[in-house]
Structure 1
Amino acid sequence: MPHEPIPVSPGTHAELTHTVTDADTAAAVGSGDLPVLGTPRLLALAEAATVRALVGLVGADRTSVGTRVALEHLLATPVGGTVTVRAEVVYVDGRLVRFSIVAEDAARRLVGQGEVTRVIVDRERFLKRVPRD
């Protein structure tokens, strides 16, 4: 049974602000050895912002999954610093939703930018297709 189209259009957006902790550092997540925000954590924040933008729009029986990421991490953020990540829908094609990502520090300097693509999926059908060992 086909789903109704998702009510997502370019301009739909969300943001989140995060204070960097020791657990977020490159040293802690294995992406380097410096005590600054690690790129994998910046990516996780970017994805979290895209998920937040879709909350309440896809229906209880559907969710979104990340399928493609392009991210530039441009400025280091120390422990205690804050990063605000904004995700904005820039393209929708059926179940595919592409987001522009902008991350800034408290001084509004560009920390990172990029693009995240998500696809809307039926929860149950998706999980049935996950390979089992």
Structure 2
Amino acid sequence: MESWVGASAQLELTVTDADTAQTVGSGDVPVLATPRVLALAEAATVRALARRLESGTTTVGTRVELSHRAPTPIGRTVLATAKLAKVDGRRLTFDVTVSEGDAVVAEARVERVLVDRSRFLATAFGTEP
């Protein structure tokens, strides 16, 4: 997995009313909501590893540090760029930048852990033998 360091991916989001703080309940202004920024950042980290994971494995989010620095109105497009910065055993740490053009909208550090999918689900739903 050390060879995975540097793996990256990008995702775009054009802000709609469904993405605003007013709609998701995280505020009362019609701009990109912080929870949507977080979801976009996590989705970019998932995409960065999509072709590298073996069948039966997945990653799950365990920790996020997020700075949402600038508002993005409806109709504008942001780009999330995730890059795997560090591998420590099963723990994967990503740096994510969300930008609108040249402006940085948000920055995040996202930690994910590599898990066996069926074992994880069995634990989550209490069906472990």
Q: Please indicate the TM-score interval, normalised by the length of the shorter structure.
A: over 0.9
Deviation at 1:9, TM superposition (A): 2.5
Q: Secondary structure at the match of 1:11?
A: coil
Measure the CA separation in 1 of the matches of 2:2 and 2:86: 13
Match of 2:114 in 1: 120
1:68 to 44, 63, 66: 63
* Cα offset, 1:38, TM superposition: 0.2
- Paired residues, what number? 126
Among 9, 34, 42, the residue aligned to 2:37: 42
Does the aligned pair in 2 maintain the 1:20–1:80 contact within 8 Å?
yes
Aligned counterpart, 1:21: 16
Aligned to 1:3: none
Aligned mates of 1:86, 1:92 — CA distance in 2: 18
Is 1:92 matched with 2:87? yes
Deviation of 1:8 (Å)? 4.8
Overall identity of the aligned pairs, in %: 50
Gaps of 5+ in 1: 1-5
Structure 2: which 5+ residue stretches go unaligned? none
Counterpart pick for 1:59 among 33, 47, 54: 54
Three-state SS of the structure 1 residue aligned to 2:61 is: strand
AA aligned to 1:124 is: S
Q: How many Å separate the matches in 2 of 1:114 and 1:130?
A: 27
Q: Does 1:108 align with 2:102?
A: yes
Give the root-mean-square deviation of aligned CA atoms: 1.2
Question: Whose helix proportion is higher, 1 or 2?
Answer: 2
1:74 partner letter: R
Deviations 1:37-78 (A, max 9, x none): 000000000000000001021112000000000000000000
- 2:111 maps to a residue whose letter is T
Which residue number corresponds to residue 76 of structure 2? 81
